[in-house]
Chains A and B, each alone.
Chain A
Amino acid sequence: MKRLMSFGIVASTMLAFASPVLAQTVFVSTQLRPIEEATVVREELLQDVGDVDYVVEEPPQFAVRMEAERQAGTRTVSLVGALHGELSPLADRDSLEPLDDLAKTLAAGGMPQSLLDLGKLGKSTQQYIPWMQATYVMAAKKEALQYLPSGADVNTLTYDQLIEWGKKMQEATGQPQIGFPAGPKGLMARYFQGYFYPSFTGGVVRTFQSADAAAGWEKLKALWAYVNPNSTNYDFMQEPLAAGEVMVAWDHVARLKNAISAAPDDYVVFPAPAGPKGRGYMPVVAGLAIPKGAPDKDGATKIIEHLVTPDVQLLTASRVGFFPTLNVKLPEDLDPGVALLAAAVTTTQASKDALISLLPVGLGDKGGEFNKVYMDSFQRIVLQNEPIADVLKAQGETMAKLMTDTKASCWAPDAKSDGPCPVE
């Protein structure tokens, strides 16, 4: 017995030390985090590319982990998948491998050059390879369409029409029927940065406290009278839509997908409304990058090549609702819900008044505080009914300080700046 036990101990110790030999390529991602999506990645998308350990991490923890590994000088992560804005602080610290050869091959294979250029993050070399893209759209239950104001087309909606629509729905059903994801984990800040501000002011930072912005906030207050007050609890709009709490909602395509895929015949999906300066919209790009000093650079390159093949890109689109970065035609037999979302994205991009607004760049780890400026303004102006001019002045000062501290220069749709982006 004793011999058996000591044999067991020796064997397990040997196994414990031997396991690093069965090296896995560690792939850390801030995207496709929910368990269903992570399972799709592990069991379908990463099949046949060898032994990959797909690890998901919340964005704040991701930033901490990458910085800790950089400072320690020991990398465990060979491949990272993250949003454009999450990769930019890594590129700023010069901790990503240049991927120019891969980019050249992909450009020849049909990846749009404009998208590849985003992956340079303002540097001379390719920092990441665009992996998937998405944007934000609006979705409505078909029964809501009967209350559309006369002459309004959902695909070319304006803010005035949306307010009118909300009013009619509330009168008919007795309840506010519009919803926004303004909960603690909702993406409401992106609504302000990519949709509200560009649509009303044509800018994001420069125009923060302009007269146009004040007029826009007045409109939002008018709209909010028809917005479900539970919106400040909503994180993902698919749940309130599916539960029948709201009929019309704005959110990220991936956060609407479950409701729409479950009942594609019940919904219409369409672009966000247009303001006086155009129809603001924000493309979301997730990229794949290799950290400098990665333990398995070859394995990581192989995974990138695999994930951007047309077949895998289409599989990704149909299973998780993020769209290809390659110029591929979506197949006919695509999940009908995803097809609806994809059509709305195309309609948005093709709108005559479309106004593209990029994800913030150069803010480093101050991205959260940048979001807070918009969310605090929203809380004070819309929820607490404070005077608009005072709030914009106070929050504008916070914003200006943030820009000087980070030295971030302006990004589209704001006009380019020398040095930190000014708040005018």
Chain B
Amino acid sequence: MTKNRSWIPYLLILPSVAFLALLFIVPLLQTIWLAFSDNGVPSPANAQRMMADINFARSIKNTFLLTIAVVPVQLAIALVMGTMVAKVGRGRETILWVWTIPLGISDLAAGLVWLSILQNSGYFNSLLLGLGILERQASWLSYQTPVALFFAIAVAEIWRGTAIVMVIIVAGLNQVPREFKEAAEIFGAGPWTRFWRITLPLIRPALQSALILRTVLAFEVFAVVYALGGRNFPVLVGEAYNWQNQNQNYGVAAAYAVLIMIISLAATLIYLKAIKVDPERLP
């Protein structure tokens, strides 16, 4: 009886597979073709044009720097927030709810929020002026202050993207059985040892998904950078947008899109290899 029905699971996932093929794989193949063709013949012209562009090297450097700076900080903050909230009894939901507010705000809106804080006539300058630290408005977001600009973008990204990491980690923490910790406590393990030896290894699957998700999103950072840095801080997705929208050259834009995809895939593979998850712990 069960043997005859072995096709049922495949039938059930068929609609979603068809949906993915239609709306994901077809456009993906079209993009790859657009990137590596010129007037209908295969050609590396678009990739060459992309690599010769003045903003290419800068956009790669900026994207990687931002990812390296933002992702570890987000992970650390999320872990701290997650363990803190685990100790809280009453009001836990309210705290979690407040912490996840940035999740509900669109990227661009988050960028604009930080723009209103950091621009010349923004809240930050007003505060410094009011405290007498500054004599006149300072600019934090111009091409002449690359360090401040980088810092501003990193802070805005951390503010915006930490909540999603925290949600995943809290879910992971909830699955750690209480008995393990209690047993460790009986044997005299301190809080640090318990965290390092028990909690961290047990939330590996959550860590892995959080890292993959955040890193891929960090490589695709755009709206926050666009709002705060404009042309001053080129990133990969921003360049793809510029070539598509302002320069109206779809081929070069597609070349950027393919490059972003390759980088994201590579990062995912590295995480899958580096943070091994026991097969029995997979969902």
Q: Do A and B come from one complex?
A: yes
- Give A residues with C-beta under 8 Å from B: 58, 60, 63, 174-175, 182-184, 228-230, 232-233, 243-245, 365-369, 371-372, 376, 379-380, 383
Asked whether any CB of chain A lies closer than 8 Å to the CB of B142, the reply is: yes
Are A379 and B121 closer than 8 Å at their CB atoms?
A: no
* Contact between chains at A245 and B120 (CB < 8 Å): yes
**B118-160 residues at the A interface, CB under 8 angstroms:** 119-121, 136-137, 139, 141-145
What residues of A have a CB within 8 angstroms of the CB of B247 in the complex?
Answer: 368-369, 371-372
Is B136 within 8 A of A232, CB to CB? no
Pick from B119, B230, B244 the residue with the most CB of A within 10 Å: B230
Selected from B54, B119, B226, the residue in CB contact (under 8 A) with A379 is B54
Q: Does B248 contact A (CB under 8 A)?
A: yes
Are B120 and A243 in contact, CB atoms less than 8 angstroms apart? yes
Contact assessment for A230 and B139 in the assembled complex, using a CB-CB cutoff below 8 Å = yes
What are 22 A-B interface contacts by the 8 Å CB criterion?
Answer: A60-B245, A63-B248, A175-B136, A184-B226, A184-B242, A184-B246, A229-B143, A229-B144, A230-B139, A232-B143, A233-B230, A243-B121, A245-B121, A367-B248, A368-B246, A369-B247, A369-B248, A369-B249, A371-B246, A372-B246, A376-B54, A383-B143
Of B119, B121, B139, which is within 8 A of A229 by CB? B139
**Contacts A232-B143, A380-B54; is A368 near B248 (CB within 8 Å)?**
yes
Tell me which residues across on chain B come within 8 A of A233, comparing CB atoms: 141-142, 229-232
Chain B residue nearest to A240 (CB atoms) is B120
Contacts of B232 in A (CB 8 A): 232-233
CA distance in complex: A376, B234 (Å): 13
Residues of B within 8 A of A232 (CB): 142-143, 230-232
Q: Are A365 and B248 CB-contacts (below 8 A) given A230-B139, A243-B121?
A: yes
User: Interface size bucket, B side?
Assistant: 20 to 34
Contacts of B141 in A (CB 8 A): 230, 233
Q: A376-B54, A379-B54 are in contact. List 5 more A-B contacts (CB 8 A).
A: A60-B245, A229-B142, A229-B144, A368-B247, A372-B246
User: Could you tell me the distance between the alpha carbons of A60 and B248 in the complex, rounded to whole angstroms?
Assistant: 7
Q: Digit string of B45-62 for contact with A (CB within 8 Å is 1, else 0)?
A: 000000000100000000
A184 and B248 CA atoms in complex are apart in Å by 14
Question: Assuming the A-B contacts A184-B230, A379-B54, A380-B54, are A230 and B120 also in contact, with contact meaning beta carbons closer than 8 angstroms in the complex?
Answer: yes
Chain B interface residues toward A at CB < 8 A: 54, 119-121, 136-137, 139, 141-145, 226, 229-232, 242, 244-249
Q: Which chain A residue shows the least CB distance to B141?
A: A233
CB nearest to B228 among chain A residues: A233
B246: A residues at CB distance < 8 A: 60, 184, 368, 371-372
Given contacts A233-B230, A233-B232, A365-B248, contact A174 B142 (CB under 8 A): no
Give the complex CA separation of A245 and B137 in angstroms. 9
Bound: A380/B121 CA distance, A:
29
B136 and A174 contacting across the interface, CB-CB below 8 Å: yes
- Across the interface, B231 reaches (CB within 8 A) one of A184, A228, A365, namely A184
- In the bound complex, what is the Cα–Cα distance between A415 and B215 (angstroms)? 54
Q: Are A183 and B230 in contact (CB under 8 A)?
A: yes
Residues in A with CB closer than 8 Å to B230 are 183-184, 232-233
Expressed in whole angstroms, the minimum distance between the Cβ of A236 and any Cβ of chain B is: 13
Which of A60, A230, A245, A372 lies at the interface centre, i.e. has the most chain B CB atoms within 10 A of its CB?
A230
Max chain A Cβ within 10 angstroms of own Cβ: one of B137, B229, B231:
B231
The answer to whether B248 and A244 touch across the interface, beta carbons within 8 angstroms, is no
A310 to chain B, nearest CB (A): 37
Chain B residue with Cβ nearest A243: B121
State the CA gap A380–B231 with chains docked (Å): 13
Task: Give A233's nearest chain B residue, CB to CB.
Answer: B230
Q: Which residues of B contact A369 (CB under 8 A)?
A: 247-249
Q: Which residues of B contact A365 (CB under 8 A)?
A: 248
Tell me which residues across on chain A come within 8 A of B231, comparing CB atoms.
Answer: 182-184, 232-233, 379
For A379, what are the chain B residues with a Cβ–Cβ distance below 8 Å? 54, 231
Q: Roughly how many angstroms separate A232 CA and B232 CA in the complex, as a whole number?
A: 7
> What's the Cα separation between A58 and B248 when bound, in Å?
12
Given the complex of chains A and B, what is the CA–CA distance between A367 and B247 in angstroms? 7
Measured CB to CB, the nearest residue on chain B to A384 is B54
In the complex formed, the residue of B with least CB distance to A383 is B143
In the complex, A60→B250 CA distance in Å? Answer: 11
CA A246 to CA B120, docked complex, whole Å: 11
User: In angstroms, how far is the closest chain A Cβ from the Cβ of B52?
Assistant: 9
Least Cβ–Cβ distance between A65 and chain B, in angstroms? 13
Contacts of A60 in B (CB 8 A): 244-246, 248
Question: In whole angstroms, how far apart are the Cα atoms of A245 and B139 in the complex?
Answer: 10
Report chain A residues within 8 Å CB of B137.
175, 245
Q: CB-nearest residue of chain A relative to B121? A: A243
Complexed CA–CA distance, A244 and B246 (Å): 29
Q: Could you tell me the distance between the alpha carbons of A379 and B54 in the complex, rounded to whole angstroms? A: 9
Q: How far is the CB of A207 from chain B (nearest CB, A)?
A: 22
